[in-house]
Structure 1
Amino acid sequence: MSSTTSPLVRPGRRPAGHGVLRVGRASFLVHRRAAVVAAVLTGLLGCAVVAYLCVGESFVPPSQVVRVLLGRPSPDELVVGTLRLPRLVVGLLGGAAFGVAGALVQTVARNPLASPDVIGITHGAGAATVAAMSFTAIAYDALPYVSIAGGLAAAALVYAFAWRRGLHASRFVLVGIGVSVALGSLTQLLLTKGDYLAAQQAKIWLTGSLDGRGYEEARPLALLMVVAVPAALWAARAQRGANFDDDTATALGVRLDRVRLGLTLLGVVLTSVATGAVGPVDFVALLAPQIARRLTRTAQIPLLSSALTGALVVVVADLLARRLFSPVELPVGVLTAAVGAPYLMWLVARNRSRSGGNPS
């Protein structure tokens, strides 16, 4: 979704493939294909939600799932309403947050290889959370706030080292990768020096898992997503300016540094809270925006489709993780990493071949 005030569109003219959405006095340009893709993704997500609530150690008929969701008496209230639904809500919110955060970071970096788990934000949130779990008696519901602090600290570190009279996209990614490696090493050091039992719990959390997650973890995520809606509307418009090169943006009057800082901060907060709730589920923030962009074929990464794709990836991955090797249950992060790592290698090889073998 984009506003009619795009600097690349002449007043009174509508770009091809767009329609106008009017809300009161405000009007927005809507990419038709992106709207169709969002509708299809919503339908697929609805099917995944029903399958998630039906499938498990015991199968629950869809009719009983609907009864539970409508608040009607059902013999499957315990299985659906108490065990599966809270976990599903956390997965939906966490996946959507990762998807939007990945879209924002890739917009700032102008690089499909960039994502919060590649440039150090997730590792910063993870290191802070592991430190809190290993060395303090912190309440579990306070972990999202610790993750926010760690993610912000990591982002500030990347931003400080990458800043040289402006924020260059490739330097931002390279510095982020270096910070990510350093924070990963720090996390391993904390695991070896902390309390043994707490370290074992932290190791499980580091794999990214929805096991045992409930409404307590979903609450800060839900609050953040509601608060972030106005910021996301701003980000959808600001993305256009961030996609320009520095000279073009300056000529058009775009305050590029402020835009990039705002987009980065929003992405960091979304990533950090999602990491605190579900753990560092790798590669969702990398995969979701690129899948959404390829489906919509838009010039900028669509935030709504990225959120829907991220939620769909997490829900389907967790469903497979629960049932693929039953009765053994895998952490959802193991499955997303198994898919995301080959994709990352393919993306690196593809970019390298396009640049004629020059890695820069």
Structure 2
Amino acid sequence: MKSSNSPIGDTTEFVPGQRVLPGERVDFGRPMLRALGLRIDLRVVVTAGIVTLLALGCGFVGLLLGEFSLTPAEVFQGLFGQADRRIVNTVVGEWRAPRIIAGIVLGAGLGVSGAVFQSLTRNPLGSPDIIGFSTGAYTGGIVTIIVFGSSFISTAFGAIIGGLLTAIVVYLLTWKGGVQGFRLIIVGIALTAMLNAFNTWLIMRADLDLAMAAATWGAGSLNGMGWSTLLPAAIGTILLGLGCGLFSRGLGTLELGDDTAKALGVRNEPVRAGLILVAVALVAVVTAAAGPIAFVALAAPQIGRRIAKAQGTSLLSAAAVGALLLVAADLIAQHALGETQLPVGVVTVCIGGIYLIWLLIQEARKAQ
């Protein structure tokens, strides 16, 4: 053991195979913070903070732009309902602010969900929109819309049930003395294809009005987002995101491999099942509120990991990048084509397609 000076306090340089004495702090090679019994990489915190500020900046631009353009002073006044013109309070407080907040919160939720599944599968393709959980939530939402109508509560309930049932099916089909990441991805992709075919059949068989409602919701959009939809979705997303954070220590240990995690005292399957349950519920809540928004959960964890130069998947970085991606994509969807507004899911698919091609090229280079 060698003592070293650190801005965080006195630390001890970590040497593999040596025992750390009680009261000594381990030097992990990078500044670390301690919060709630967890060690958090200081670089991760700083980069996540910067990315969050960028997301808030994009959100502020979104408050300024639109058919009814506003000045920064009017935006601040409208946020607190203190603008001289009543229309400003309505535009900012009732129309634009819920949409911006939804983009930040729901994007962060997608980022966290994607980080959990990529960490569990130890594969950058292991996101809920690739392995079928988003599609399962979409299927549950469609069935609910056709049977009960398109209210948020019923759609949210159907999306959560659909996502959880899909997770159970994938888990059972993947199980073979344990769950392996590659097998989980293959089974998920196959189930996604079948669910997509079933969803198409459901929409074609439904009445025109219900089919239009399901198709519009299925495009993934923040259009029409109001406080009545945002509040329950935001509360559910935040609570489930915190739930994922509670499992973060076990998640990081599982990245080392099942044998290593078991040797360190982690109950692999209960922890994995709990993480899948919470992460699926998280993506289902987001899907219920805004529809199946693709590729944010795929791209955010990997981008966050590269920005922070972290050794493992960071939920904090993934949340920040997910928020930035969704808010920026919604800004593009609203204003890139002038008066024509696109569903945000169309933009995220385009961005995600480019990212997926780049990711496959990078993985092919590593394999050579």
Same fold (TM over 0.5): yes
Task: Give the structure 2 partner of residue 207 of structure 1.
Answer: 219
Once the two structures are TM-superposed, the CA of residue 176 in structure 1 deviates from its matched residue by 0.7
Contiguous gaps of at least 5 residues in structure 2: 1-10
Tell me, in whole angstroms, the C-alpha distance in 2 between the residues paired with 1:298 and 1:272.
Answer: 28
Task: Give the structure 1 partner of residue 354 of structure 2.
Answer: 342
Residue pair 2:81, 2:89 contacting (<8 A) in 1 also: no
After superposition, the C-alpha distances for 1:288-337 in whole angstroms (9 at most, x for unaligned) are 11111111111221112211111111111111111111211000000000
Task: Give the structure 2 partner of residue 186 of structure 1.
Answer: 198
Q: Given residue 168 of structure 2, which amino acid in structure 1 is its aligned partner? A: A
Alignment of 1:17 with 2:30, yes or no, is: yes
Once the two structures are TM-superposed, the CA of residue 341 in structure 1 deviates from its matched residue by 1.2
Task: Give the structure 1 partner of residue 179 of structure 2.
Answer: 167
Residue pair 1:210, 1:278 contacting (<8 A) in 2 also: yes
Alignment of 1:216 with 2:228, yes or no, is: yes
Tell me, in whole angstroms, the C-alpha distance in 1 between the residues paired with 2:355 and 2:55.
Answer: 22
Task: Give the structure 1 partner of residue 60 of structure 2.
Answer: 50
Q: Describe how 1:237-276 pairs up with structure 2 within 5 A.
A: 237-276=249-288
Once the two structures are TM-superposed, the CA of residue 237 in structure 1 deviates from its matched residue by 1.4
Residue pair 1:123, 1:184 contacting (<8 A) in 2 also: yes
Residue 17 of structure 1 aligns to a residue whose secondary structure is coil
After superposition, the C-alpha distances for 1:214-271 in whole angstroms (9 at most, x for unaligned) are 1122122222234235423322212211101222222222211122112111110110
Change in 2 beyond 3 A, CA 1:164/1:285: same
Once the two structures are TM-superposed, the CA of residue 182 in structure 1 deviates from its matched residue by 0.8
Q: Given residue 31 of structure 1, which amino acid in structure 2 is its aligned partner? A: D
Alignment of 1:147 with 2:159, yes or no, is: yes
Q: Describe how 1:301-316 pairs up with structure 2 within 5 A.
A: 301-316=313-328
Tell me, in whole angstroms, the C-alpha distance in 2 between the residues paired with 1:143 and 1:90.
Answer: 17
* Counterpart selection for 1:69 from 79, 86, 95: 79
Alignment of 1:157 with 2:169, yes or no, is: yes
Tell me, in whole angstroms, the C-alpha distance in 2 between the residues paired with 1:353 and 1:73.
Answer: 56
Tell me, in whole angstroms, the C-alpha distance in 2 between the residues paired with 1:120 and 1:309.
Answer: 22
Residue pair 1:113, 1:286 contacting (<8 A) in 2 also: yes
Task: Give the structure 1 partner of residue 337 of structure 2.
Answer: 325
Residue 309 of structure 1 aligns to a residue whose secondary structure is helix
Tell me, in whole angstroms, the C-alpha distance in 1 between the residues paired with 2:350 and 2:315.
Answer: 25
Once the two structures are TM-superposed, the CA of residue 197 in structure 1 deviates from its matched residue by 1.6
* Counterpart selection for 2:69 from 39, 48, 59: 59
* Counterpart selection for 2:47 from 27, 37, 44: 37
Task: Give the structure 2 partner of residue 123 of structure 1.
Answer: 135
Change in 2 beyond 3 A, CA 1:68/1:15: same
Q: Given residue 67 of structure 2, which amino acid in structure 1 is its aligned partner? A: E
Tell me, in whole angstroms, the C-alpha distance in 2 between the residues paired with 1:40 and 1:276.
Answer: 29
Tell me, in whole angstroms, the C-alpha distance in 2 between the residues paired with 1:10 and 1:300.
Answer: 23
After superposition, the C-alpha distances for 1:269-296 in whole angstroms (9 at most, x for unaligned) are 1100000000001100001111111111
Task: Give the structure 1 partner of residue 7 of structure 2.
Answer: none
After superposition, the C-alpha distances for 1:193-232 in whole angstroms (9 at most, x for unaligned) are 1111211121111110111111122122222234235423
Residue 38 of structure 2 aligns to a residue whose secondary structure is strand
Tell me, in whole angstroms, the C-alpha distance in 1 between the residues paired with 2:34 and 2:76.
Answer: 33
Identity %: 34
Q: Given residue 85 of structure 1, which amino acid in structure 2 is its aligned partner? A: A
Change in 2 beyond 3 A, CA 1:295/1:181: same
Once the two structures are TM-superposed, the CA of residue 84 in structure 1 deviates from its matched residue by 0.7
Deviating more after overlay: 166-175 vs 248-257: 248-257
Change in 2 beyond 3 A, CA 1:164/1:92: same
> Radius of gyration: which is bigger?
2
Deviating more after overlay: 338-347 vs 168-177: 338-347
Alignment of 1:78 with 2:90, yes or no, is: yes
Tell me, in whole angstroms, the C-alpha distance in 2 between the residues paired with 1:125 and 1:172.
Answer: 17
Tell me, in whole angstroms, the C-alpha distance in 2 between the residues paired with 1:30 and 1:94.
Answer: 23
Residue pair 1:90, 1:215 contacting (<8 A) in 2 also: no
Residue pair 2:117, 2:276 contacting (<8 A) in 1 also: yes
Tell me, in whole angstroms, the C-alpha distance in 2 between the residues paired with 1:28 and 1:127.
Answer: 38
Once the two structures are TM-superposed, the CA of residue 138 in structure 1 deviates from its matched residue by 4.9
Deviating more after overlay: 69-78 vs 321-330: 69-78
Once the two structures are TM-superposed, the CA of residue 82 in structure 1 deviates from its matched residue by 1.5
Q: Given residue 65 of structure 1, which amino acid in structure 2 is its aligned partner? A: V
Residue 254 of structure 1 aligns to a residue whose secondary structure is coil
Once the two structures are TM-superposed, the CA of residue 342 in structure 1 deviates from its matched residue by 2.2
Tell me, in whole angstroms, the C-alpha distance in 2 between the residues paired with 1:197 and 1:71.
Answer: 37
After superposition, the C-alpha distances for 1:77-96 in whole angstroms (9 at most, x for unaligned) are 12111211122222222111
